[in-house]
Structures are given as C-alpha cells and as structure tokens.
Amino acid sequence: MTSAPAATVALSALSGQYTIDPSHTEIGFVARHAMVTKVRGAFTEFEGSATTSPGLADAAIALTIQAGSVDTGNADRDGHLRSADFFDVETHPTITFVSTRVVETAPQVLRVEGQLTMRGVTRPVAIDFDFDGAATDPFGNERVGLSGSVVVNRKDFGLEWNAALETGGVLVSENVTLVFEVSAIRSGDAPEAAPVEDEQPAPARASAPAAQAQPAAQGGFVAWLKKIFA
C-alpha cells in the first residue's frame, strides 16, 4: 500500500482510537547543569492512548510513564533521579497525564491541556504540539506524528533537591523542558456516542393505571369506616 504524503492530511480530519508506539516515540527532558550546560534524559517505558472524532470532537489523551525508566546516559545520575531527592520511584512509580481539553489553536497546531501528576503532585499544564502529518507505513499501520514541548518548574512537583555552586547559582535548574516526539498508530474507530434515553421510560407510563386505581381503593376504605362509626 502506498502511503499518502503527510502534509496532505488535516489535523481536524483525524478520527479514531490511537495508541502510542513506544519504539518510535521519545519522551524526554532537558535541564541545565551547573548553570553552563544542558543535560538531556528520556524515559524508556511508557504507554499512552488517544481518541477523537472528526474536528477533534470529544478528543482525549492519556499517558503513563514509568518513572524508574529514566535514562540520562549516566548510571549514578539515573540512580539519584530515582531516589527520594527527585522522582522517589519506590513511593511514586509512575508519572501520568490526562487531558482535559484538546483544541486546534492554529492550522496543524494542537493544544493539549490537562493534569500532570508527578511524585504524587498534580498540576495543570498546556502543551502545544505541531502535527507532523499522517501516513500508512509499509506494514499497513495508519500513523500520525506529533512533536511538542513544555517548560515546568520541577519544584512545583516536589522535586526540590539542589546544591549551591561556589561561583553562585545552583547545580540543577528549577525549570525543566519536557519534550515529546510522538508516533501513534490508529487502533480502531472512535467509540460511538451513547444513545439518548427516552425522557418518559416505559416503566413510568406503565405505573399510571395503578395510580389511577388508588383513589377508588381509598374511597372504599373511607366508606367502610363510616359504616362502623356511624
């Protein structure tokens, strides 16, 4: 099957359920070290899904990251990041994101607003993604690509450890850039909306005769009392 050029697909035309392909997706971060250079890292274990109808109607995204899978290319540093000084993976093994609003703010630009939970602390974040297009790969998978980033203050999530430098400043920057390079595979159609229920369900209408019979029964009881106490 020949894939269509990615640029010909409109973001608003997407529809269905999508699953993140971890082997072609990168979820990472960038932080400043010693005020003069940047350290980059990534998470190697995660899963995520999305669903949408045409025009991004009812679009929703969810992501779960295994915090212990952090990899910066340095074993000692990774061990420190897993400790209680940073991610505290023994107590808080996962980092999660759940969207609350998904809109197209400009042509082929997707804004995803939601709740990010890290180290047991939940904060609202808004991430802007560039829609890199959609295509069918040689194996018949319908793929979409998105890339985006957002800056967060790690102290807002309880990651407060730091060390002062003799020359001034600190060892690790408070602001950290989260980076997302996502490839997702369409895994099915979007769920159909639930049918609207009848405003007057059948059981309520069926009970009407019983309600009408009640006055007659009550009248018979009153007449019996009058005969006894007359």
* Mean pLDDT value of segment 137-143: 94
89 pLDDT exceeds 80?
Answer: yes
114 pLDDT exceeds 70?
Answer: yes
39 pLDDT exceeds 80?
Answer: yes
pLDDT at res. 36: 78
Question: % helix / strand / coil in the chain, to the nearest 5?
Answer: 25, 50, 30
Q: Is the pLDDT higher at 197 or at 160? A: 160
* Mean pLDDT value of segment 167-183: 88
* H or E element in which residue 77 lies: helix 75-82
What's the pTM value of the predicted model, to 2 decimals?
0.78
Helices (H), 12-55: none
**Cβ contacts of residue 191 below 8 Å, gap of 6+?**
17, 51
Q: What gap in Å lies between CA 133 and CA 11, rounded to an integer?
A: 8
pLDDT at res. 8: 67
**Cβ contacts of residue 118 below 8 Å, gap of 6+?**
67, 87, 92, 95, 157, 158, 159
Q: Is the pLDDT higher at 173 or at 167? A: 173
pLDDT at res. 137: 92
* Mean pLDDT value of segment 68-89: 95
